[in-house]
């Protein structure tokens, strides 16, 4: 572990609403000095989400923090009494620590609607290579690489370079149209993987990002 227990890399999950947590951890594959708008243009610390329903525990895009000695007791306590643990990813690049959760808890990895507990809904962005998640009780949208936190607050869309690996040639305008139906949801929080989350008026922030 780099940094002490009270340093910037300490594990400090924030409970955003009853049963809903977010934490940030430094990504081991991050490199400094990436040009703006490039595929490496993202912050070192990335966000992960934990959600406990009445029956199940769900992790989304989980990255274990450097302080694993703090993480595991916290996660074990959340897992107590859960019928099933789920380790979900919004996008293939966010598998991160998924296998560690599978090894420890036998976590399920399927994002299929029928395999998820009541209260969390997958939101496929067909053609954009991503599945977001909607938690209605907390009015929270969990996103991957298509919606990011903006440097000055609010939200922004990903750089066009982040779409280059997709063989269908989708553009940012295409992503924008895929995201517009999300404005029908009463979004309060947008829990992004990259950048700072939006914790209030999330629908407005998304509408502004979509222009």
CA distances from 188 to 30, 49, 182, 197, 198 (A): 30, 16, 12, 11, 8
pLDDT in tens, 76-106: 999 999 999 999 999 999 999 999 999 999 9
Q: Is residue 7 part of a domain?
A: no
Q: Is residue 143 part of a domain?
A: yes
Q: Is residue 2 part of a domain?
A: no
Q: Is residue 160 part of a domain?
A: yes
Q: Say if residue 2's pLDDT is above 50.
A: no
Tell me how many domains the chain contains: 1
Q: Is residue 65 part of a domain?
A: yes
- How many C-beta neighbours within 10 Å does residue 70 have? 16
- How many C-beta neighbours within 10 Å does residue 149 have? 22
Strands 56-60 and 84-88: parallel
The secondary structure of 109-170 as a DSSP string is ----GGGSPTTEEEEEETTTTEEEEEETTTTEEE--SSEEE-TTSSEEEPPGGGGTT-TT--
- Residue 9 pLDDT: 67
pTM of the model: 0.93
**pLDDT class of 183 with cuts at 50, 70, 90:** very high
Q: Is residue 3 part of a domain?
A: no
Six-digit token string for 135: 């938690």
Q: Is residue 9 part of a domain?
A: no
- Residue 10 pLDDT: 81
- Residue 1 pLDDT: 27
Q: Domain residues for 112?
A: 14-210
- Residue 90 pLDDT: 98
Across the range 145-170, mean pLDDT stands at 96
CA distance 206 to 211: 9
95 and 194 in contact (C-beta within 8 Å)? Answer: no
Q: Is residue 8 part of a domain?
A: no
129 and 166 in contact (C-beta within 8 Å)? Answer: yes
33 and 96 in contact (C-beta within 8 Å)? Answer: no
CA distance 91 to 153: 23
How far, rounded to the nearest angstrom, does the alpha carbon of residue 194 sit from its chain's CA centroid?
Answer: 8
**CATH number of the domain bearing residue 36:** 3.60.15.10
pLDDT in tens, 40-83: 989 999 999 999 999 999 999 999 999 999 999 999 999 999 99
CA distances from 74 to 70, 80, 89, 115 (A): 7, 10, 20, 25
Q: Say if residue 24's pLDDT is above 70.
A: yes
Task: Mention every residue, 6+ apart, whose C-beta is less than 8 A from residue 92.
Answer: 129
């Amino acid at each position: 572990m780099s940094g002490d227990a009270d340093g910037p890399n300490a594990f400090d999950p924030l409970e955003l609403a009853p049963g809903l947590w977010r934490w940030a951890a430094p990504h081991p594959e991050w490199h400094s000095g990436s040009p703006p708008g490039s595929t490496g243009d993202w912050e070192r610390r990335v966000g992960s989400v934990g959600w406990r329903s009445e029956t199940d525990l769900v992790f989304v895009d989980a990255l274990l923090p450097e302080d694993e000695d703090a993480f595991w007791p916290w996660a074990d306590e959340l897992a107590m009494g859960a019928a099933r643990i789920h380790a979900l990813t919004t996008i293939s690049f966010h598998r991160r620590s998924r296998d560690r959760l599978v090894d420890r808890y036998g976590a399920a990895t399927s994002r299929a609607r029928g395999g998820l507990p009541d209260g969390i809904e997958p939101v496929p962005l067909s053609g954009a290579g991503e599945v977001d998640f909607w938690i209605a009780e907390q009015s929270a949208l969990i996103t991957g690489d298509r919606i990011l936190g903006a440097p000055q607050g609010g939200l922004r869309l990903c750089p066009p370079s982040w779409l280059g690996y997709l063989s269908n040639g989708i553009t940012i305008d295409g992503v924008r149209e895929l995201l517009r139906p999300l404005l029908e949801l009463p979004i309060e929080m947008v829990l992004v993987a990259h950048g700072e989350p939006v914790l209030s008026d999330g629908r407005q922030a998304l509408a502004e990002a979509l222009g």
